[in-house]
Chain A
Amino acid sequence: MKYSKNSVWENNDYYDVVVVGGGHAGCEAALATSRLGFSTILFTVSVDSIALMPCNPNIGGSSKGHLVREIDALGGEMGKVIDSSFIQSKMLNKSKGPAVHSLRAQADKARYSRNMRQVLEKQERLEIKQGEVAKILTEENKIVGVMTYSGAIFSCKAVILCTGTYLKARCIYGDVAQNIGPNGLQAANNLTDSLKELGITLYRFKTGTPARIDGSTVDFSKMEEQKGDEKIQPFSFTTNPADVQIDQVSCWLTYTNNETHSIIRENLDRSPLYSGMIEGTGPRYCPSIEDKVVKFADKERHQVFIEPEGLETNEMYIGGMSSSLPEDVQYRMYRTVPGLENVRITRNAYAIEYDCIDARQLKSTLEFKKINGLFSAGQFNGSSGYEEAAAQGLIAGINTARKLQEKEQISLDRSTSYIGVLIDDLVTKESHEPYRMMTSRAEYRLLLRQDNADQRLTKLGYEVGLIDEERLNKLTLKEKLIQEEINRLENTHIGNSQRVQELLIENKSTLLPSGASLADLIRRPELNYSILAEIDEERPIFPEDLADEVIEQVNISIKYEGYIKRQKKQVEQFKKLEDKKIPEDINYDEIESLRIEARQKLKTIRPSSIGQAGRISGVSPADISVLLVFLSGV
């Protein structure tokens, strides 16, 4: 610690909550606690880096789009801010089933950051402070405050750690390594020791980002233009779709080639990853271009997306080519890509290493098991991605508030949301790389669609206090309309009249031998609700702002009924095990007949339910049986 004894002073302003970090997790966390009535101070190493997007310029994408919708449904901010700052939007996987439709928007990074900061600044009970938190202060394992690098002590009741990739951050390319955070920002070098003193286990993870380039030096005529959707859907359930039909900016697609790959191969020995200079564990889902070239040696080319970073800058992002190769190699490598022959690099690609925790030290409420009042969220918990961070920040914020309200904390299970899957995976499974949300991780994804996030979570958001009554009433009405319309379609039978048959022929559908319900027709892959309009005479008129959503839900519910029913059954099954709670004070050493491996795993992770226990690797179904036997006697 650099400060002298006489620089230590006590700040006497009153705060309930200290949030450490102003990234996507920190913003949601601080907004949640202050909105729920608690005075909150958010520390950031630089006020200018609030809600910064130091890597890719998008929000959403496969399964991450789901997270944003869920954040919004619970009363978080990310969806609203991206709706006000995007420059292109696309619904991904539109040709696939509704469960994997996923919204992705290109953000104007500066505007996103500015808009979020403004929301924070306008928020009552929330204060922003530039400074580095260097020490967590506890008494008898209970949070009492924090101390900053400058020696100031801030008393509080709870702390939410959202330090992102800043803890002992080290940026590396080639043989150049600097102890700085993302985007050249100052790293936070002091907190780690304090965390270790509290008995917290830390990991060291690694991630990376591609170069940023000057768009005016790119030849777009050699690339394929990638436009946004014609009809744009907003992220937030509260955004009026009419307000987001903007003029969009394009992205551009180009490819690497043999020459690119040769340059990479020839210089592999200069890569810090291969020379052993980087010790952190990198993410498999986000490989650097050198990783791709080595691992998928038979691929002749890899896609490269050139994406704008904003409207008021020439800078562009080279999606698909993150790297930690030396600066000179970066220039040569990027310039082999068609359209980038004369490219000027504004910021080098780099890999970054940072301290984070083994999240199995957390409860599914995101509070540390061992430290009363200490919560954490985001990349600090071993995840990756803006959306994953924001989702955790929101939950950590809500639970901090609930703790101070002396209410039961919330814990979303895997059948309710991607957020639930994300947190359950983080706190249950051992991970050696930053965790990214993926649609394949959600076993009940047919029920966890981006289109029904409101039906899944908004009631909870209301109970928590982040959703107002008006929004809840609108949802209740929507649900009623959906149910009534499904019932009507199931019970409306039509004959095989000429009009009906003609419509079927027109849509390349088989003719009706006798009558059928309208729902039966909607079940046919080639038909849907809108097509049947002309043979459906009693069709109700829905309120304008709900019509599209109601129709979408009706279509999905009817078309995928069989699959949905099956998943609901699986969920029932799952819930039974989730509902079998394990007492917090259980002493696994008393269960002598439990296998040693299982006992050790259970002792470290201390699962809250039999269901969670079953997901721990190394705990077998037989172990679970034995555990059940003992719990029944407790």
Chain B
Amino acid sequence: MIKDENRTIAAISTAVSPSGIGIVRMSGNQSIEIADKVFKGKKSLHESKSHRIHYGHIYEENQMVDEVLVMLMKGPHSFTKEDTVEINCHGGVFIVKKVLDLLIKNGASPALPGEFTKRAFLNGRMDLSQAEAVSDLIYSQNDYALKNSVNQLKGKLKDTIQEIRNEIIYNTAFIETALDDPEHISMEGFSDKLNIEIKKWLKKLNNLIDSNENGKIISEGIKTVIVGKPNAGKSSLLNVLLGEERAIVTDIEGTTRDILEEHINLNGILLNIIDTAGIRDTDDKVEKIGVSKAASYVEEADLILYVIDASRALDENDETIMKMIDGKKCIFLLNKTDLDTVISKSDFASNLANSNLKENAVIEVSAINITGIDEVEETIKRMFYEGNISFNNEIFITNVRQKDALVHAKESILRVESSVENQMPEDLYTIDLLDAYEYLGEITGETIGEDLVNEIFQKFCMGK
């Protein structure tokens, strides 16, 4: 779908900065109007001076969301040469996301990859010598977004979207075939059948939208992987961090064989934590799979939590793990300080002194007595704000776009529902059915192309 060039676009323009401030940027002829719907300051932005910073609050209905500073730049004196509003939020990742969500709810569209820059270019901000660079940016960001939107979709959710799409195109094709060939195909009783389908679709879409709000359609947090030898206390530690008993915890070595993924919110920083099977040299086939999986998760991780049983001496398995995590951002957790320990913090740190891992923190903890956990949390936050581990901006934005597409798909299906209720003729349903189909395709990265015509010929027998 080629998007309207005149729509007002919004996106988070910075990763969360060291101070915890995030900027949401909006550009387009409606930016001031949209911002005014959620911003309350001394004066409305409409009446405020351009190129000044305005203090105020963002509200959702009557609920205060965040205290903000808003930079107002009226076109053409802005980066994009359009009216631009930049909202500086204070409240951490979730608040920034919330503010973006609110702008979208009030009429802004999530920006496409490279779109601000593209607009800046199209509005004459840059000269032709920069066109190449702009093109590269569009392609690279687009590839990135596409890769994310498709790859990051969890299998089941992708299947659900695919399923709804297939059902939509089937029903649309049926209507179209009947219209093209009314003497062969009757539409009697079709509306009732479609109505049942509509209810099903709406239920599924609502579920998807809800789960998306919880950040689960794609992982948008810091990919955190817990590693360690068997029975080092990885699962117990995860449970402490989560505050619940989730992972299966036993005293038998090698219990956590599957990969578990959990989400933790540390004051607005989202961690996607993956607990892995204990790493050791083993002949057990199932366990081997777990170990190799762990290795691949480590490779993709933004942050490693390496759990070490401080009551036992290091061995060759620790060496294996050290090699595996070489060059990664890591926190070493010397666990089981409730027992007699054989590894001290200072010994361990000096052991690291000659390796690539020497910059990383070493913390003594006890999952049983719940000590040292605060320090772990503080360390993660500090690393994050100092920019040592980064929050993946592009994934985050992809997620916003996907939600936007889901909401639009749902609205389209609702319109079909009301067409059915109002006893409108069937040919009017397909306008909205196809819209829904197209929006869902944006999520799975598929365009509509000749889908409908192909479906008609494939599934239905035309006359003549």
Interface residues of A (CB under 8 A from B): 56, 62-63, 92-93, 95-97, 99-100, 284-287, 292, 295-296, 299, 302-303, 305, 319-320, 322, 429, 438-441, 443, 445-446, 525, 560, 563, 566-567, 573, 576-577, 592-595, 610-611, 614, 617, 620-622, 624-626, 628-630, 632-633
Contacts and interface: CB of A to CB of B under 8 A. Distances in A.
Nearest to A305: B183
Given A625-B138, A626-B135, A525 B4 contact: no
B348 interface: no
Contacts of B426: 96-97
Contacts of B450: 429, 617
9 contacts: A96-B182, A97-B425, A284-B457, A296-B461, A320-B464, A438-B176, A438-B453, A440-B453, A593-B136
Q: Closest 6 CB pairs between A and B?
A: A97-B425, A593-B135, A633-B128, A440-B176, A284-B457, A622-B142
Contacts of B132: 592-593
A303 B425 contact: no
Most interface-central of B4, B121, B422, B427 (chain A CB within 10 A): B427
A166 to B, nearest CB: 22
Contact of A576 (B4, B428, B452): B4
B184 interface: yes
A632 B179 contact: no
B1 interface: yes
A621 B135 CA distance: 12
A629 B118 contact: yes
Contacts of A629: 118, 121-122, 131, 134-135, 138
A630 B131 CA distance: 7
Interface residues of B, number: 52
A60 B93 CA distance: 61
Contacts of A441: 453
B423 interface: yes
A625 B428 contact: no
Contacts of B463: 303, 319-320
Contacts of A100: 179, 425, 427
Nearest to A570: B431
B94 interface: no
Contact of B427 (A97, A284, A632): A97
Given A525-B422, A566-B431, A299 B461 contact: yes
Contacts of A285: 180, 457, 462, 464
Nearest to B2: A614
B179 A560 contact: no
B184 A303 contact: yes
Given A286-B462, A319-B463, A440-B176, A525 B456 contact: no
A522 B427 CA distance: 20
Contacts of A63: 180
Contacts of B113: 622
Given A96-B427, A629-B135, A621 B1 contact: yes
Contacts of B193: none
B456 A440 contact: yes
Interface in B140-154: 142
Contacts of B427: 93, 96-97, 99-100, 439, 445
B424 interface: yes
A625 B461 contact: no
Contacts of B428: 97, 99, 446, 560, 563
Nearest to A594: B135
B452 to A, nearest CB: 5
Interface of B: 1-6, 112-114, 118, 121-122, 124, 127-128, 131-132, 134-136, 138-139, 142, 172, 176, 179-184, 187, 422-428, 430-431, 434, 449-450, 452-453, 456-457, 461-464
A354 to B, nearest CB: 19
B176 A96 contact: no
Contact of B431 (A446, A593, A628, A632): A446
A630 B3 CA distance: 18
Contacts, number: 136
A622 B445 CA distance: 13
A303 B430 CA distance: 26
A607 B61 CA distance: 48
Nearest to B418: A562
A295 B459 CA distance: 9
Contact of B122 (A429, A439, A622, A632): A632
A305 B4 CA distance: 47
A95 B428 CA distance: 13
A296 B127 CA distance: 59
Contacts of B181: 62
A92 B182 contact: yes
A572 to B, nearest CB: 9
A438 B118 CA distance: 37
Contact of A295 (B114, B138, B183, B461): B461
Contacts of A624: 2
B82 to A, nearest CB: 15
A558 to B, nearest CB: 14
A610 to B, nearest CB: 8
Nearest to A567: B431
Most interface-central of B128, B423, B453, B464 (chain A CB within 10 A): B464
Nearest to A632: B122
B113 to A, nearest CB: 8
B460 to A, nearest CB: 9
Contacts of B3: 621
A292 B461 contact: yes
Most interface-central of B113, B181, B430, B462 (chain A CB within 10 A): B462
Nearest to B452: A440
Contacts of B112: 621, 625
B136 to A, nearest CB: 6
Contact of B425 (A62, A95, A320): A95
Nearest to B138: A625
Contacts of B457: 284-285
A97 B179 CA distance: 10
Nearest to A429: B450
A573 B2 CA distance: 10
Most interface-central of A305, A611, A621 (chain B CB within 10 A): A621
Given A595-B139, A622-B138, A630-B131, A96 B461 contact: no
B464 A322 contact: yes
Contacts of B456: 438, 440
A595 B139 CA distance: 9
A567 B431 CA distance: 9
B406 to A, nearest CB: 19
B346 to A, nearest CB: 54
Contacts of B462: 284-287
Contacts of A593: 131-132, 135-136, 139
B101 to A, nearest CB: 24
Most interface-central of A63, A97, A295 (chain B CB within 10 A): A97
A525 B182 contact: no
A621 B128 CA distance: 21
B142 A439 contact: no
A628 B131 CA distance: 10
Contacts of B176: 438-440
Most interface-central of B3, B176, B426, B463 (chain A CB within 10 A): B463
Nearest to B462: A285
A577 B3 CA distance: 10
Contacts of A617: 449-450
Given A625-B138, A629-B121, A525 B180 contact: no
A624 B135 CA distance: 10
